Structure 1
Amino acid sequence: MKVTLISIPVLNQEKALQFYTETLGFIKKKDMPLEGGNRWITLVSKEAPDGIEILLEPAPLHFEPSKVYQEALMEKGIPYTQFDVDDVDGEYERLVALGVEFSVKPTVMGTFKFAVFNDTCGNNMQIVEML
């Protein structure tokens, strides 16, 4: 058994697609229409194009428990998930220059450094560097 796909709940799939590709640098892998104007949009990392796919899931628009969970995480400042990076400081500077808003600046905690940003689609996301 292995992980091949993770879902990230997003409030607007098109806005999420633009942010995750143009700002974060992910690559669109699949984009197929679904019922109700939704799409099956998956992304992959440039560093691992055959790796785990990220599904931009429109669940908060159609499934109230997903919306409540997403809003609760945002309210508490808890990241929905994390992305590993080689250099948190460098990635932080790159993203700030692109207008990304961080709620937590690069911070060392034990054997890792992290920072938390708003993905503009209803989620806090964390970038992590192992030290």
Structure 2
Amino acid sequence: MIERISHVTVLVRDYDEALDFYTNKLGFEKAEDSKMPSGDRWLTVSPKQGRDVQIVLQKPGKATFGDLTEEMLGRIGQGTAWAFKVDDCKKTCDELAKRGVKILSPPQDFGFAIEAMFADLYGNPYILMQPPAGRK
């Protein structure tokens, strides 16, 4: 049976620029970085306090996608609807903006959570979610 989500993938144009963004702008840590037998790179990052799920930074290539490579390259910047839990949505938005991260929507209180949205270097949108006080 399925136990849990361990990895999620975001398509990238360049491994090193993606690694730089996710580590230096978002404050994530590099979890894994190795060469696969196909010659592709296995590169993952995760939040410092959330290593149970890793984000695979994947550059579409022939070894992985074959004839679909061009189509997958066209999908860069069009994915994700992931939510990252934060303790203070406004403070996190302010810090990310100082680091040059594009904030798509400022923090808004929806009752069930305070949420904001930002984009990575390719335009992929992500949600910052602050649960109500007393909820984790």
Q: Give the TM-score band, short-chain normalised.
A: 0.7 to 0.9
Q: Deviations over 1:35-84 (max 9, x none)?
A: 776411011221134x11111122389634444555555xxxxx532211
Give 1:14 shift. Answer: 1.2
C-alpha distance in 1 between matches for 2:101 and 2:61: 22
Runs of 5+ consecutive residues of structure 2 not aligned to the other structure: 63-67
TM (normalized to structure 1)?
0.80
Q: Deviations over 1:2-58 (max 9, x none)?
A: 211111122222111001111111111111124776411011221134x11111122
Relative to 1, partners in 2 of residues 1:72 and 1:4: Cα closer, same or farther, differing over 3 Å? closer
TM (normalized to structure 2)?
0.77
- What aligned pairs does 1:104-119 form with structure 2 within 5 A after superposition? 104-119=105-120
C-alpha distance in 1 between matches for 2:19 and 2:25: 10
Match of 2:96 in 1: 95
Cα RMSD (Å) of the superposition?
2.4
Aligned residues: 125
Conserved in 2, the CA contact under 8 Å of 1:60 and 1:70? no
Match of 2:26 in 1: 24
Structure 2 letter corresponding to 1:85: V
Conserved in 2, the CA contact under 8 Å of 1:10 and 1:122? no
In structure 2, which of residues 10, 13, 19 is the aligned counterpart of residue 11 of structure 1?
13
C-alpha distance in 2 between matches for 1:122 and 1:103: 10
Which has a greater percent of helix? 1
Conserved in 2, the CA contact under 8 Å of 1:10 and 1:123? no
Structure scoring higher RCO (CA < 8 A, sep ≥ 6) equals: 1
Q: Deviations over 1:112-131 (max 9, x none)?
A: 11111110034111111111
Conserved in 2, the CA contact under 8 Å of 1:9 and 1:60? no
Structure 2 letter corresponding to 1:102: I
- What aligned pairs does 1:112-127 form with structure 2 within 5 A after superposition? 112-127=113-128
C-alpha distance in 2 between matches for 1:43 and 1:80: 17
In our comparison, the structure showing a higher alpha carbon Rg is: 2
